[in-house]
Amino acid sequence: MRFLLPAMLVAALLAATGGFSLAVAQGARAVAGASRAAPERAAVDLKQGMTLEEVRELLGKPWRTAMTSAGSSGAPSQGTLRWTYTWAASASASDRNLNIDFTAKAPEQWTVGSWSWSSY
């Protein structure tokens, strides 16, 4: 009984200061994984020439990003920007990945050049 009050006080302080945020973040991640079916279905609306903002509005934030440089070392190049979205088909199936490659004709003017599906 003597330790109950201090334990309750510590629990209240942890809750108030975000000490339990790790458990909350893990719960939010599970929910986000379950809600990926809608963006996967929305991927059929991808079109060549879409901007970064249009793709983000359609599919949400990408799971991974990568950039490659194309060109000689002396000349600046826009290269290719790749966004990867990953969805788990089921617990027993492999993940499905949607890779979207953006190209830029001018600095910071990225548009969809191509996309492809792959599995791990």
Rounded Cα gap, residues 36 and 87, in angstroms: 6
Q: Do 112 and 48 contact (CB within 8 A), yes or no? A: yes
What integer pLDDT is reported at residue 20 of this predicted model? 43
pLDDT band at 53 (very low <50, low <70, confident <90, very high): very high
pLDDT digits (tens, 9 = 90+) for 11-50: 655 555 554 443 333 333 332 444 556 767 888 999 999 9
Q: How far apart are the first and last CA of the chain?
A: 54
Q: What mean pLDDT, rounded, does the chain reach?
A: 73
Rounded Cα gap, residues 58 and 9, in angstroms: 45
Task: Note the pTM of the prediction, 2 decimals.
Answer: 0.61
Q: Do 55 and 48 contact (CB within 8 A), yes or no? A: no
What integer pLDDT is reported at residue 108 of this predicted model? 85
Rounded Cα gap, residues 18 and 32, in angstroms: 20
Instruction: Name which of 21-25, 71-75, 101-105, 109-113 the model is least confident about.
Output: 21-25
- Find the mean pLDDT for residues 58-77: 78
Q: Where are the domains positioned within the chain? A: 1-35, 37-119
Pick the CATH number of 37-119 from 3.40.50.800, 1.10.1660.10, 3.40.350.10, 3.30.1450.10: 3.30.1450.10
User: For residue 39, which of 85, 81, 84 has the smallest C-alpha distance?
Assistant: 85
Rounded Cα gap, residues 103 and 113, in angstroms: 6
Q: Do 46 and 55 contact (CB within 8 A), yes or no? A: yes
